[in-house]
């Protein structure tokens, strides 16, 4: 069957990749009467969402392998740590998503083709926060 007659529409492509890490934290400003003010842990899931107006050969927004330094950062700096002890802010999912977006933009985005759209941080299967990066 000849499918060459199908014209491709104009638009942008978007990809996402999920990463995981385990960490503990407590939200010290809440106090021990609030359950999040007490030490607890999460199996964090982090999704990076990238976009590009066109694709690079062989048809990628960005090669998923090029995102390995982000996973290395999570494993080295955040995995199996108490986040409230190492991060310079209250370790809510919202703040963590913004922080991870900042790290990605500063350290990885200059080396890849795709542009970061958003970072989603999931603490549980039913709770998440998303930070959307402003397009320049």
81 within some domain? yes
29 within some domain? yes
Place of tokens 């549980």: 124
Examine the pLDDT at 128 and tell me if it is beyond 80: yes
- Give Cα separations from 76 to 27, 28, 68, 71, 72 (angstroms): 22, 24, 12, 9, 6
From 36, 47, 90, 94, the catalytic residue: 36
5 within some domain? no
Q: What is the pLDDT of residue 15?
A: 98
For 85-125, how does the pLDDT look when each residue is reduced to its tens digit (9 = 90+)?
A: 999 999 999 999 999 999 999 999 999 999 999 999 999 99
CATH number of the domain encompassing residue 116: 3.30.479.10
51 within some domain? yes
1 within some domain? no
Coil, strand, or helix at residue 69? helix
- Check if 80 is active-site: yes
23-28 average pLDDT score:
93
- Check if 25 is active-site: no
For 41-84, how does the pLDDT look when each residue is reduced to its tens digit (9 = 90+)?
A: 999 999 999 999 999 999 999 999 999 999 999 999 999 999 99
- Check if 36 is active-site: yes
Structural domain including 99 reads 13-132
From 42, 80, 84, 134, the catalytic residue: 80
19 within some domain? yes
2 within some domain? no
7 within some domain? no
The pLDDT-based confidence of 30 (bands split at 50, 70, 90) is: confident
Examine the pLDDT at 37 and tell me if it is beyond 90: no
Domain count, the chain: 1
Q: What is the pLDDT of residue 61?
A: 97
Q: The sheet that has 40-52: what strands, in order across it?
A: 13-25, 40-52, 115-122, 128-132
CA distance linking residue 98 with residue 120, whole number of Å = 9
């Amino acid at each position: 069957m000849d499918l060459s007659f199908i014209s491709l529409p104009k638009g942008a492509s978007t990809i996402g990749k999920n990463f995981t890490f385990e960490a503990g934290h407590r939200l010290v400003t809440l106090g021990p009467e609030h359950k999040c003010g007490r030490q607890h842990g999460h199996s964090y899931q982090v999704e990076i969402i990238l976009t590009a107006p066109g694709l690079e050969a062989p048809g990628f927004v960005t090669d998923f392998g090029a995102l390995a330094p982000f996973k290395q950062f999570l494993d080295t700096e955040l995995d199996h740590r108490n986040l409230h002890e190492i991060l310079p802010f209250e370790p809510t999912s919202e703040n963590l998503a913004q922080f991870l977006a900042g790290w990605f933009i500063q350290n990885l985005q200059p080396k890849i083709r795709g542009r970061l759209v958003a970072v989603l941080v999931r603490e549980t299967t039913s709770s998440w926060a998303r930070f959307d990066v402003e397009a320049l």
